[in-house]
Structure formats: C-alpha cells, structure tokens
Amino acid sequence: MRLVVVSAGLSVPSSTRLLADRLSAATVGRAAAGADVDVEVVELRDLAVEIAHNFTNGFPGRKLAAALAAVTAADGLIVVTPVFSASYSGLFKSFFDVIDPDALAGKPVLIAATGGSTRHSLVLEHALRPLFSYLRAVVVPTAVYAASEDWGAEGLPERIERAAAELAALMKGLSAPSTPSAPLKDDRDEKAEKAEKSGFTVVPFADQLAALAAR
C-alpha cells in the first residue's frame, strides 16, 4: 500500500512535519498486520517555486509533477498544514489547486493541522474538511490538531492513534483487490484499451455523436 504524506510546514525542523511523521508512523503501525506500506513524504516547502510556476506556466515542473503523480497514485493520504490567518496555509491550498480535481476522488485522507494555540483547532472542520469533501476524498472522522501546548499535554497521542487506525482501516478496505466492474473490461475493444494505456480514457466518437443526437 502506498501512503503519501503531504506536509506544508515551512521551518526546518517544523512541528507540522513532526505531526506528519507521528501520524504516518502510527498509520504504518496500524496497517502492518500483513501489509507492506510504502511511505513517501511530500514537503511542499521544496516545491513552493514550482507550484507558483505551475500557475503562471500551466504545467508542473519536474519535481512537482513527481509529487502530483505520487499523491494521485496513493492508497491513502495524510495532509498536514500549519494554520495561517485562520485557515490552511496558502502554499497548502495552492498544491491542491494545481492537482487534477479528480485525483483525490475516493481516496482516504487524514487531515491534520498545527498552530500556536488551540483556539484554531476548528480550522480542520471549517476549512480542511470542506476542501477535501469538494475533492471527493473520503476524510477520516478524526482530524488531528496540535497546538504548541499539545506537545506537552495529554490527549495528542491518543488522537493520533485513533486517526491512524481510521485511515489504516480505510486503506486496507479500499486497496484490497476489487472484483466488481471486472466484466466490463472484456467488452471493451482492445485498441481503445491500448489508447487508454497512454493515460487517457477514450469515449468512442460514435458514442459522443449519439449523445448529442438524443434529445
């Protein structure tokens, strides 16, 4: 299973990355029973310039393209942002602005955020959850917020474990080999399938024409 961790922390070291690492270790621990988990971390700080250029150029640079591909191919995501001005950081949002809007559809996502005080914890529910709902991701019920004081208080490890368990369960469920929809494939003609291998889904032209004729 492929687990991709997107961290929008800016300082090095960053508490956002620290929370991301705790969440990913817990998720790997929960999933370990029989499953190999590949973890890839995407640090948005390293992609900041390429993300900005994607807006001006219309296409991703090489490092960003690799990160977008990793996120698209993931079986599960952990996304962590610092809270800036009562919301996710602009860099965090920008990354999800340049990814294909369908890339996250159906994907289990654990949302998490860090901040200087606990007063911003509902950012997870009011900003991150709607964003990932829009992207049609499956957001796990437990979202994890860590304020500075949480790193020395009770409760954070338990929330991390609970969220990780939810994510791992969803990933196991969704990345199991699926059986339905298999018969459809046999009907498809071989060449269309070959064309699909080039990375596109092709609707045969006759079907497109027919869709217009039906009134």
Cβ proximity to other proteins, 55 vs 134, nearer residue = 55
CA 138 to chain centre: 10
- Residue 199 as a binder of other proteins (CB under 8 A): the answer is yes
What is the residue whose two structure tokens read 């150029």? Answer: 57
Q: CA gyration radius for the chain?
A: 19
- Residue 117 as a binder of other proteins (CB under 8 A): the answer is no
Written as six digits, the tokens of 202 are: 């092709």
Written as six digits, the tokens of 53 are: 């250029």
Q: State the nearest-atom distance from the C-beta of 106 to other proteins, in Å.
A: 21
Q: What is the bridge-based pairing of β-strands 38-43 and 2-7?
A: parallel
How many residues touch other proteins under the rule CB under 8 A: the total is 29
**Angle CA 148–28–161, to nearest 5:** 45
Per the CB < 8 A criterion, the answer to whether 163 and 112 are in contact is yes
- Residue 204 as a binder of other proteins (CB under 8 A): the answer is yes
- Residue 70 as a binder of other proteins (CB under 8 A): the answer is no
Q: Which stretch binds other proteins (CB under 8 A): 34-42, 108-116, 128-136, 200-208?
A: 200-208
- Residue 69 as a binder of other proteins (CB under 8 A): the answer is no
- In 10 A of CB 198, how many CB atoms? 7
Cβ proximity to other proteins, 33 vs 212, nearer residue = 212
| Among positions 61, 87, 121, 174, the unique one binding other proteins when judged by CB under 8 A | 61
Q: From CA 26, how far away is CA 162, in angstroms rounded?
A: 9
Cβ proximity to other proteins, 52 vs 153, nearer residue = 52
- Residue 194 as a binder of other proteins (CB under 8 A): the answer is yes
Residues binding other proteins (CB under 8 A): 52-53, 55-59, 61-62, 65, 189, 191-192, 194-195, 198-206, 208-209, 211-212, 215
